[in-house]
Structure 1
Amino acid sequence: MTSSTRPVAVVVDGYSAGNFYPAAFAAYGADVVHVQSTPRINPTMQAPDLTAYSRNIICADESELVELLRPYGPLCVVPGQEGAVRLADRLSEALGVPSNGSALSRARRDKYEMIEALRGAGVRCAGQFKSADPAEIVDWAQEQGSYPVVVKPLSSAGSDGVVVCDSAEAVRTAAEAVLGTQDIFGGANTEILVQSYLRGTEYIVDTVSCAGERYVCGVWEYEKALLPSGKNIYNRDLLADPDADPVPALTAYVDEVLATLGVQWGPAHAEVIVTDEGPVLVEIGTRLNGNINAPFHDVCLGHNQAALTAQAYAGPDEFRAAYAGRVYRRLQPAVVYNTPTELDGVVTAVDETAVAEIRGLESVFFTGVKLAPGARIRPTVDLLTSSMRVFLTAPDDHVLEADYQKVRSLKDAVYRVS
């Protein structure tokens, strides 16, 4: 067991972005305990580095798990990824530590309940309908009188299963594709969600809250490309100027969303489209931005969401004094590029010369090569099937743009495919 002289933070399912938590809490003198909610590690996400934790607890009985965690007297229980949100809410509530509680936990996770909560509070939101029957989904879409509409699973992430549909036939095909499959967290998709299509530019709004006082730690503009298949794939995330429109309107709108969904503590990652009527929520997750790279964010923003979350729990007075009610400063322009590909086959080799050329560009901070020899590569249809993730930042916008274009020209040379 961890030494009683050091505070302890608990991370539930520290996959992907959750891997930044151990170092973030360690900077505040805290040990970190990991809770693994499944008997085996989920293979669809970047696995947690269990060597970074003082202990990994695997326990299927939630009541027993609470008693295993109680002796640590934890500072907090945080979800390491989207699928862990509801369990982390229940554990933190049961342990009596700072918590968003479980009363609105479902609305913070289920996309249908999320939007209905906003509608009930009078917050601007999309029209929607859910059903287990594809025919009913088609009927609802037809009744709207215009296309496109958006079909998606109720509780996934990373644009998994999201399709923009321009006909009844496309709606039926997308709805049937959702049913009978699993989301990226291993949960069964037993219902389908269909929503009105929101026309406008989409933004990320990342926040960290401490006892109900929030800090906006980054706003990023999504640059997307709509494929003929109806898949709206991510291309670039561009760090927005916090003093320019629409950041003030986005901030005010997300404040309404956080209040409606009872977000009092920890990180939130919202996706919002600015329509002609104003900002409208696509979805929000009470967890870290999946595109976080802590050292990269430290350079372009002066902080990162994982470290801010650790500070909110481990040093709340310090956090409130520095950040409560405020908005980030952009230290220099930045881009996150999720490279799309049309390559289709088996990766036979990674061309290290091409990788080195990308990494040698002035503004390239980090390049994540996602596939190894032997892996199957397919044309990009969502965030999960992008071929690489490249983080770029530089004081000069022109350098940033030139390097982005160079990466675009090199991205498919990275993989040799049979």
Structure 2
Amino acid sequence: MTSPARLVVVCGRSAASVGELVGGLKPLGDLVFLLDTSPYNDPLRALLAKVGTVLDVAPTAAATAELLRPLRPDGIVTFSESLLPLTASLAAALELPFHSPDSVALLTDKHEQRRRLRERGADTVRTHLLTSSSEWPAAVREVGLPAVLKPVRSEGSRNTHAVSEDAEGKALVHDLLDSGRERALVLEEFLIGRGSGAYAGYVSVESLASRGVVTHLAVTGKYPMMAPFRETGQFWPSALNPAEEREVLDLASRAVDALGVRTGLLHTEIILTADGPHIIEVNGRLGGLVNDLAVRAAGVSLVRLAGRVALGEHVVPEPVKPREVFYQFTHLAPLERVRFVKADGHGVIRRLPGVDTHRPLVQAGDWLDGGTAWTMLDLLTGRAASHGEMSALIDRALDTVEFTFGTQGGDIETLSGRACSPWAAPS
């Protein structure tokens, strides 16, 4: 009798929920959960121990590989951006399929990724690396203003700023670098998306690489961002016309090829400008909340597809073609630090036609830190017959819910759902 396959899942703050990990991967074989030291894993340890073996990462990648070697794993996978380098090192040491260490270096370093894309002719966006505030004048000369300033390594738009004034940018660089909050920053050419009021001027492409064959599973449409770069939701299929979609997919293919990715999931963000699409960034992992869209729209678990590829199976799935529009929308907390008091109207939202679920994501008394990394207050999911019907439903939801916050000064403020969205009513 053949023993079940053994799959190592490297766990930290993840684009896949615990339910998605267990539901998607458990049918593939025995699971070994390798936990990093982040607090995210603390409440999950007991649950994961019920469905697999739980191990902690060792102080070094080499020591962690030796910890895993006696288990003779057949595959390794992660859905965590910060754990891509460790997972790539472990895969190389154990001779298992995954992104190569060289590819992961390009996928996780925004400056090196841009440089490779330019060298291979995949994209032309101007950038400059900064490691101290003294380099700011040279960066502005090369890139120009307005521009986008972001950490070389980050996720969730942490410390990402749009910069239009020289003095503003210089102060930000001083604050982030000279204080030690970030080790290196990238100044990037500011690209203007050509979105409409209902949809953002950017999309993402969800792809799977298997033995060098790259399948683009879907193009994900986006709602407009809130300042500075905070995402508010997404939907399948996108609202692009066929010609626009072909341009986007062609660019995604060139980018993946330039970065040398041959194995695993990819989430490529692309901005749509007047002179054509450009890469925002290529991520070597599952996109946030994208697995939910795939399961609801097509009955396909991207987590499971990634697990199958990790175990050595050659997987070439068909692109997803939903017959309805499936969406996810979230209200966002204010940029300033506030205490969440309550939300009203959840029951009404859940009864709206086209709403599948409406889930609160914060609890009364929670302090929400604000800042450039967004805090989701809730998650609204559902389906509609068309993009227009979806937009009308979101519009109704915006006027149905209210959120009450306490400020650090002790004041109480109630905001409509619309005020916590990109479509705030004019004052």
TM-score normalized with structure 2 length: 0.83
Measured in 2, the distance between the counterparts of 1:174 and 1:244 equals 41
Match of 2:274 among 268, 273, 276: 276
Q: What do the CA deviations read for 1:118-164 (whole angstroms, capped 9, x no partner)?
A: 112122131101112224224422554x5310000111111111111
In structure 2, which of residues 303, 310, 330 is the aligned counterpart of residue 338 of structure 1?
330
- The answer to whether the Cα contact below 8 Å between 1:338 and 1:383 also exists between their aligned partners in 2 is no
Task: Please state whether the residue corresponding to 1:10 is helix, strand or coil.
Answer: strand
| Residue 189 (structure 1) shift | 1.5
Counterpart among 365, 377, 386 of residue 387 in structure 1 = 377
For the residues of structure 2 that align with 1:6 and 1:244, how far apart are their CA atoms?
Answer: 43
| Secondary structure in 2 matching 1:224 | coil
* Partner residue, 2:418: none
Kindly indicate whether the alpha-carbon contact (under 8 Å) linking 1:217 and 1:304 is maintained by their aligned counterparts in 2. Answer: no
Asked if the contact 1:340–1:387 (Cα under 8 Å) also holds between the matched residues in 2, the reply is yes
Q: Secondary structure at the match of 1:33?
A: strand
Aligned-pair CA distance for 1:90: 0.7
Change (3 A) 1:103 1:333: same
Residue 195 of structure 1 pairs with residue 193 of structure 2: no
* Matched residue type, 1:68: L
Shift of the alpha carbon at 1:274?
2.4
Residue in structure 2 matched with residue 205 of structure 1 by the alignment: 205
Cα distance, 1:46 vs structure 2: 9.5
Distance 1:4 1:242, change over 3 A: farther
Match of 1:328 among 320, 344, 356: 320
Instruction: Give the match for residue 214 of structure 2.
Output: 214
SS in 1 for 2:243: coil
What one-letter code is carried by the residue in structure 2 that aligns with 1:82? E
Count of residue pairs brought into register by the alignment: 394
Q: Determine the C-alpha separation between the residues in 1 that align with 2:69 and 2:219.
A: 37
Residue 395 of structure 2 is aligned with which of 405, 409, 418?
A: 405
Distance 2:115 2:51 in 1: 38
Contact kept in structure 2, 1:299 and 1:331, CA below 8 Å = no
Q: What is the TM-score with the length of structure 1 in the denominator?
A: 0.85
Name 1:185's counterpart in structure 2: none
Aligned to 1:247: 245
Structure 2 counterpart of 1:304: 301
Aligned counterpart, 1:358:
349
Report the Cα distance in structure 1 between the residues aligned to 2:11 and 2:267, rounded to whole angstroms. Answer: 17
Q: Cα 1:16–1:100, aligned 2, differ >3 Å: closer, same or farther?
A: closer
Identify the residue that residue 34 of structure 1 maps to in structure 2.
Answer: 33
CA distance in 1, matches of 2:248, 2:43: 30
Equivalent pair of 1:363/1:403 in contact (CA under 8 Å): yes
Give the one of 255, 259, 262 matched to 2:260: 262
- Could you list the runs of 5+ residues in structure 2 that have no partner in the other structure? 194-200, 407-411, 413-427
The alpha-carbon distance between structure 1 residues 73 and 359, as it changes in their structure 2 partners (threshold 3 A), is farther
Q: Which residue in the other structure is 1:6 paired with?
A: 4
Q: What are the residue-to-residue correspondences of 1:57-72 with 2, within 5 Å?
A: 57-58=55-56, 59-72=58-71
Q: Which moved more, 1:92-101 or 1:243-252?
A: 243-252
Conserved? CA contact 1:234–1:383, under 8 Å: no
Which residue of structure 2 aligns with residue 156 of structure 1? Answer: 154
Q: CA deviation at 1:407?
A: 2.1
Equivalent pair of 1:14/1:34 in contact (CA under 8 Å): no
Report the 3-state secondary structure (helix = DSSP H, G, I; strand = E; otherwise coil) of the residue aligned with 2:121: coil
Q: Deviations over 1:48-92 (max 9, x none)?
A: 753464122112232221122123332322122100011111101
1:108–1:15: structure 2 CA closer, same or farther, 3 Å change rule?
Answer: same
Distance 1:255 1:61 in 2: 34
Deviation at 1:114, TM superposition (A): 0.7
Q: Please give the secondary structure, in 2, of the residue aligned with 1:16.
A: coil
Task: Name the aligned partner's letter for residue 405 of structure 1.
Answer: D
* Contact 1:367–1:391 (8 Å) recurs in 2: yes
Q: What's the RMSD between the two structures over aligned residues?
A: 2.8
Counterpart amino acid of 2:86? L
> Is there any run of 5+ residues in structure 1 with no aligned partner, and where?
183-187
Query: What residue identity is the alignment partner of 1:224?
Result: P
Q: 1:371 aligns with which of 356, 359, 362?
A: 362
Q: Distance in 1 between matches of 2:32 and 2:358?
A: 29
Mapping for residues 99-178 of structure 1, pairs under 5 Å: 99-142=98-141, 144=143, 146-178=144-176
Matched-pair identity in %: 18
Q: Could you say if the C-alpha distance between residues 415 and 306 of structure 1 is closer, same or farther in structure 2, counting changes exceeding 3 Å?
A: farther
Residues 1:407 and 1:315: Cα distance change in structure 2 (over 3 Å): farther
Q: Distance in 1 between matches of 2:341 and 2:70?
A: 50
In the superposition, relative to structure 1, how do residues 131 and 147 fare at CA in structure 2: closer, same or farther (>3 Å)?
A: closer
CA offsets, 1:344-384, max 9 Å, x none?
Answer: 63223444xx22222232322333322112112466x5453
2:286 is matched with 288
